[in-house]
């Protein structure tokens, strides 16, 4: 069973992603920001990290940089719902920093789950 860490500051969105992933058969842990995510990863590895980009404390781009330095084998999906042109520019930067896939919110769940299956295999 693949282990997935979901990093998202919006409680409802975080719980929705957790429910979808658990229903698909994944073991899921959650974190509200990048600081907590990195602490959790030091305790137990994950196969995949799904991280929001815009968050308080350690935001998603910083988290991706740290993941690539300290957990270079982990796969990363970046997600963003920042208004206007924001999501696309944040997600392009996330890809440059090492995200394997990126998605804008609201998520298209079939495409998202396809990416999760591919990256966590």
Q: Model pTM?
A: 0.95
Q: 25 in helix, strand or coil?
A: coil
| 4 in Cβ contact with 50 (< 8 Å) | yes
For 23, 73, 86, 89, the CA distances from 83, given in Å and listed in that order, are: 29, 31, 6, 11
pLDDT bucket at 83, cuts 50 / 70 / 90: low
Is 81 or 64 the better-scoring residue by pLDDT?
A: 64
Query: Is residue 84 pLDDT above 60, yes or no?
Result: no
Q: 22 in helix, strand or coil?
A: helix
pLDDT value at position 85?
62
- The 10 Å Cβ neighbour count of residue 33 is 20
First to last CA, the chain: 9
Residue 28, beta-bridge partner list: 4
Tell me: the pLDDT tens digits for 9-64? Answer: 999 999 999 999 999 999 999 999 999 999 999 999 999 999 999 888 889 999 99
| H helix intervals, the chain | 11-23, 34-43, 60-70, 86-97, 109-120
Nearest CA among 80, 63, 72, 79 for reference residue 115: 79
């Amino acid at each position: 069973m693949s282990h997935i860490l979901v990093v998202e500051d919006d409680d409802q969105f975080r719980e929705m992603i957790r429910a979808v992933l658990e229903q698909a058969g994944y073991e899921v842990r959650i974190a509200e920001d990048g600081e907590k995510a990195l602490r959790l990863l030091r305790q137990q590895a994950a196969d995949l990290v799904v991280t929001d980009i815009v968050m308080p404390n350690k935001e998603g781009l910083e988290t991706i940089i740290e993941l690539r330095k300290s957990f270079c084998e982990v796969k990363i999906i970046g997600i963003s719902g920042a208004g206007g042109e924001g999501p696309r520019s944040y997600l392009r930067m996330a890809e440059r920093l090492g995200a394997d896939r990126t998605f804008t919110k609201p998520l298209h769940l079939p495409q998202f789950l396809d990416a999760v299956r591919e990256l966590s295999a």
